[in-house]
Chains A and B, each alone.
Chain A
Amino acid sequence: MKRRTVLAGMAGTAAAGLALPAQSQQDPFGSKELIAAAEKEGGLTLYTADFAETQQEVIKEFNKRFPKIKVAMVRAPGGQLITRIKTEAAADKLGADVVNHSDRGLMLELVDLFQDYSPPNAADYRPDALVSPKLWPGVTLGWAIAYNTQLVKNAPKTWMDLLKPEYKGKQIGQVIGPSGGTTWTRIMFERQVLGEDYWKRQAELGIALYPSGAPLSDALVRGEVSIAPLLYNIIYTKIVDGAPAEAIFAPEGVPIIPYADGITKASKNPNAARLFMNWRLSKEGQTFMINKLGNITSLKDPPAYPKGWDPKVIKVWVPKFDEFDKLRGAWLEEWNKTYGYRQ
């Protein structure tokens, strides 16, 4: 299936042209005027492609600091959310104040629907995590290797370990390549960093394929598969709750997925939206997401690290955005063939 290419190359120029506001660093969330105006608006609507429960936690934490601002949420899977946003916008009925989406390519196509925005701590963010000056990585996720502690005697420690013959016969589960931007980031990393033949060698072991990360994490906990590359946040909350699972970050690198979040031009509560974004992107918001939800961050100086993350050893890997877009169609087709996935 051939994919439409997304405005390639725009990213570099956009990131280069980033203008940083001269805002006081005293107040991390915004001026008193902004907070007052936001509280007067009293609420906002968030459209998200993230898990509903995760975003609910974020909203709860935000409300601890700003209890007067009610956040309503609409959640739909990635592609379906984009269709909805496009259609609502075309009919002049876009209900979102803030959109939270993992696919930077798709969001970039919609960039005209978003207003100019940058958070007070804009300068603290990695430039390679941004695709447009209007869209910010309110959420950043990272790939880990998870395993069922009751089933795996000799746990994998690196990405290369996932090629060991002892894990053959559908012990390893994987999310299918074409499932979305997050998985595409990981398999791009595998090929570019771990070797051209990494997919082939792994596919030869016999891999159980899953449509997305959540059912795979569930299958891992149940013991349907023993080992799986998973976004850390998907398995983290289960580990905290006592599930028979563990997750490690591999030394070859942690592919990360910076989201593209923005405030819509149609926003009826622009001040509340701004404050909500400011808080999410602040040190406080990011720290909460790292410690409680298992996120990573796109801040240059991470305020916290997930458990088992040694900053001296573990390096994050961000895909080059132009390649992310350009290689996608052809490489995914090859991936499907290699892993025997019928599209």
Chain B
Amino acid sequence: MAAPLWVGALLILLAFLVIYPLLMLFFGAISDSNPVIDGFGKFNPSLTHFIAVLGNENVHLAFFNALVACGGGTILAVVIGLAFSWIVVRTNTPFKGFIAGASMIPLFVPPLVAGVAWSILGSPKTGLLNTALKWMGIDFRFDFYSMSGLILVFGFYYAPYVYMFTASALRNMDPSLEEASEVSGASAFTTIFTITFPLIAPAILAGSLLSFVVMLGIYGVPAALGAPANISVLTTYIFKLTAWAPPLYNTAAAVAILLMFVTAILVWAQQKVLSGKSFATVAGKAFRPRSLNLGPWRWFTFGLALIYLFIVVVLPTIALVIAGFRRFLFFKDFGALFDMKAYSWVHFNSIFDNPLTMTSIWNTMKVGVITALVGGALAFAIGYTVNRTQVGGRRSIDLLSTIPVAIPGLVVGVAYLWAWIGLPGGLYGTIWILALAFVARFIPDTVKALSTSFMQIHKELEEAAWVCGRGLLGTIWTVMLPLARPGIVASMTLLFVLAVRELGSSLFLYTSDTTVMAVLLLDYYEGGNIGKTAAFSLVQTVILAVLLGFTTWLSRGAAEGTARAG
């Protein structure tokens, strides 16, 4: 049979992408040596790092802070993301297309940029918001250099993860159950909480788990907002370990393994909750996504959407535009903001003067496309095997493809460097090593995003194809691919965006010819030039926005196609 061969091939591929680098990481965590430099022969096992990590009260504090910040952030992200997807997919709120597009923008903002933008806005001493409040004679002051600041920014910026999952689930959901509820006399409110949200529970859980884990791995936001208040989280702690002289990678690897342990528990819990329940809501029956007539309340939901957009898109963009165009970010008072002499194109001129800028943009696009295509195909193969077949070994595939989510980028970069630099064939120093690292690093995100669409496609559709004489590949091609297309496009877009933003693993794998935008952005930030950092982030945002428009157009076509296919 072909099945064992197929499973074997997937397992070998995952072993190369995940297990091999991970072994290097474990190797580093339980020894004092760098596997490449010292060789496996000099392996000197010692639990010193683990014990040091577990006993260090600063690690305890960083761990606690990370749980509070990411836990709070996730709750907020779920509230915002769910409300938003409901507003966009299920109501007759005006200008939905515009809201849907704009609400995804935070996803395209690198965390470092979000952190910088909110420090420009919400710093207790010089923040634009506080300068404005002072000018208005209001005594209240925002302080985003705090735990609540971290939670708010995490919640705002990672809500799109929840939104992406829940919106596609809502879009693909058969509304007949909701209609049944309403016919039986339940109010719209009751229907939402007893029918709609429970039905898309896998999407909500997957979205919140993913956003929680992604937050755990974010460096930029806590670096910009937590550091001034001396709030340290696991990622900033790991960054410290790798940035010290001499760098303590082995200890960092030990902290990373601690982080992986937490994530493993979460993933296990998610599967425990979801196991044994059927969430199939896309069946072989025609339906049209239903939209609720809110009457005059639709202006209220529209208002909510506008407020969210204002906070997440408009305010930070204003901050970045001001920072990008202003020579210096010093305001004596609120009036100084409108002194047009202080604005110029100088930062943009200077970034485009730098030959690395165009090189990095071009490289980033190449890496992004390769990652999205290769990663998308691999994720489809994995997702299909795990969710739609009964072949032996699929549990192992599922497990292996979930692991990388837990490894923070900086440490993963070292693991890949250690693992792949020695391979023959000159992979090191090319665009491909970056793309491979991104594919490996983001397999879990892509597979999770895809699996949600798989779970919703009822088995009966495939069975119908088999009955009609189609083979397995024919069924995938004629049934699964078209039906899962919104999910596939969304996952590949996500993959592209993640690849464009990814900094941690790039830092160790790029060479002078393969510089990417994220690395250059860190250069500008580390160079202490907030103007150029802002200008370059605006450039990056515009590039990504163009792409966003393109994929929205693609998936809209897909959604219509799906409706027709049913």
Contacts and interface: CB of A to CB of B under 8 A. Distances in A.
B429 A90 contact: no
A103 B529 CA distance: 23
A42 interface: no
Contact of A105 (B61, B245, B510): B245
Interface string A191-233: 0000000000000000011111111111001111000000000
Contact of B429 (A80, A93, A216): A93
A223 B508 contact: no
Contact of A87 (B36, B329, B332, B511): B36
A179 B241 CA distance: 10
A214 B531 CA distance: 13
Interface stretch (B70-78, B264-272, B379-387, B417-425): B417-425
B329 A221 contact: yes
Nearest to A91: B421
A210 B525 CA distance: 14
Given A53-B527, A217-B528, A178 B227 contact: no
Interface stretch (A20-28, A67-75, A276-284): A67-75
A213 B421 contact: no
B72 to A, nearest CB: 21
Given A181-B245, A241-B327, A243-B330, A51 B527 contact: yes
**A contact residues, range:** 35 or more
Contacts of B61: 342
A211 B237 CA distance: 11
Nearest to A225: B125
B416 to A, nearest CB: 11
Given A79-B245, A87-B37, A224-B126, A150 B526 contact: no
Interface in A46-91: 51-54, 56, 72-80, 82-84, 86-91
A263 interface: no
Contacts, number: 157
Interface in B262-319: none
Interface stretch (B7-15, B246-254, B537-545): B246-254
B526 A95 contact: no
A218 B243 contact: no
A84 B508 contact: yes
Nearest to B428: A93
A293 B328 CA distance: 19
B523 A79 contact: no
A154 interface: no
B247 A80 contact: yes
B242 interface: yes
A87 B327 contact: no
Given A87-B37, A91-B421, A221-B328, A79 B244 contact: yes
Nearest to B248: A1
A234 B244 contact: no
B328 A244 contact: yes
A86 B37 contact: yes
A83 B249 contact: yes
B58 interface: yes
B36 A82 contact: no
Which of the listed residues B508, B529, B530 has the most CB atoms from chain A within 10 Å of its own CB?
B529
A148 interface: yes
A106 interface: yes
A334 to B, nearest CB: 16
B123 interface: yes
Given A72-B512, A218-B528, A243-B330, A79 B246 contact: yes
A210 B228 CA distance: 7
A212 B429 CA distance: 29
A234 B528 contact: yes
A52 B530 contact: no
Contacts of A73: 356, 512
B264 to A, nearest CB: 27
Contacts of B332: 150
A211 B528 CA distance: 12
Contacts of A181: 245
A79 B507 CA distance: 12
Contacts of A86: 34, 37
A80 B421 contact: no
B525 to A, nearest CB: 8
B507 A80 contact: yes
B349 interface: no
B246 A4 contact: yes
Given A223-B331, A243-B330, 8 more contacts: A56-B356, A72-B513, A75-B523, A78-B245, A83-B417, A84-B417, A95-B512, A224-B126
25 contacts: A3-B246, A53-B354, A53-B523, A76-B508, A79-B242, A79-B245, A79-B246, A80-B242, A82-B246, A83-B417, A84-B417, A87-B36, A91-B428, A93-B429, A105-B245, A106-B245, A148-B330, A150-B330, A179-B244, A209-B230, A214-B527, A222-B330, A222-B530, A234-B528, A243-B328
Interface of B: 34, 36-37, 58, 61, 123, 125-126, 223, 227-228, 230, 232, 240, 242-249, 251, 327-332, 354, 356, 414, 417-418, 421-422, 428-429, 507-508, 510-513, 520, 523-530
Rank and list the top 10 A-B pairs by shortest CB-CB distance, nearest first. Answer: A214-B528, A79-B247, A72-B512, A90-B37, A52-B523, A91-B421, A51-B527, A218-B528, A217-B528, A90-B36
